[in-house]
Structure 1
Amino acid sequence: MSKEQLESYWRENRNLMVVVLIIWALVSYGAALISGWLNKIVIFGFPLGYYMGAQGSLIVFLLLIIFYSKKMDQIDKKYGVEEE
């Protein structure tokens, strides 16, 4: 792989990582910061702030892992560095 391809690969990898980390931070800290407002909404007898802390954030984190894995597989194949 040429130096330009390697730099392009790492640039795409870094950009993807930044997007995933921004979403993670928003879900982690954003839900905590607005939990007072979220608690006014009730789902199945539980305030939404509690639900987001107990279940919602975990679901988002799982979806982020799946998204990151699939996207990195695509990037790896694009640059010919996929694992067998």
Structure 2
Amino acid sequence: MSDVERERQIDYLDVEINLLKPATPFMRDHLRVVWTGFIIWVFTTFGPITLTRIAPDLMTTQMPVLGFPIHYFSIAIVGPTAALLLSVWYARKRDQIDEKYGIEQPVAEPEQTDTVTEDAAATDGGVTE
């Protein structure tokens, strides 16, 4: 039996959710991606701060190109950039997992808007004439 068929037969309402011991292959794969992303986020967020505390001489030296201290550059540029890249990485990995297990996301259709009638209120709160 393939992973896709096995996942489709699982009733997720009866499965116990345990973050340390996932019950299904899909949950194991997804949890692996979540923990990997979390570890990378911890290092990119708290790494420069911790290094500045541990080795202040190294982290407070001026960068030769921009003239900023290294800890400032790493906190101001590397941290947010890493968060953005992690978001893209997570979305792609989640799509790969969904594809692997045959999970399809519903496509939202655009809503139908009603045509404006003569009795509709104007944007200033009055009635159009």
In the superposition, the TM-score normalised over structure 1's length comes to 0.87
Structure 1 ranges of 4+ moved more than 6 A: none
Q: Secondary structure at the match of 1:34?
A: helix
CA distance in 2, matches of 1:58, 1:65: 11
Q: How many Å apart are 1:75 and its aligned residue? A: 0.4
User: Which structure has the larger Rg over C-alpha atoms?
Assistant: 2
Query: Are 1:39 and 2:60 matched, yes or no?
Result: yes
**Structure 2 counterpart of 1:15:** 32
CA distance in 2, matches of 1:2, 1:23: 34
Q: How many Å apart are 1:82 and its aligned residue? A: 2.8
Of structures 1 and 2, the one with the larger relative CO (CA 8 A, separation 6+) is 1
In the superposition, the TM-score normalised over structure 2's length comes to 0.59
Q: How many Å apart are 1:40 and its aligned residue? A: 2.0
CA contact (8 A) 1:76 1:82 kept: yes
Paired letter, 2:61? K
- Greater share of strand: 1
- Greater share of helix: 1
| Identity between Structure 1 and Structure 2 (%) | 28
Task: State the Cα deviation string for residues 6-41 of structure 1 (Å, max 9, x = none).
Answer: 710010000110000001011111110112232225
Aligned match for 2:84, one of 56, 62, 68: 62
Aligned match for 1:77, one of 75, 85, 99: 99
Paired letter, 2:60? N
Q: How many Å apart are 1:53 and its aligned residue? A: 1.0
**Structure 1 counterpart of 2:42:** 25
Q: Secondary structure at the match of 1:46?
A: coil
How many residue pairs get aligned? The number is 82
Q: Secondary structure at the match of 2:24?
A: helix
Unaligned runs of 5+ in 2: 1-7, 11-22, 108-129
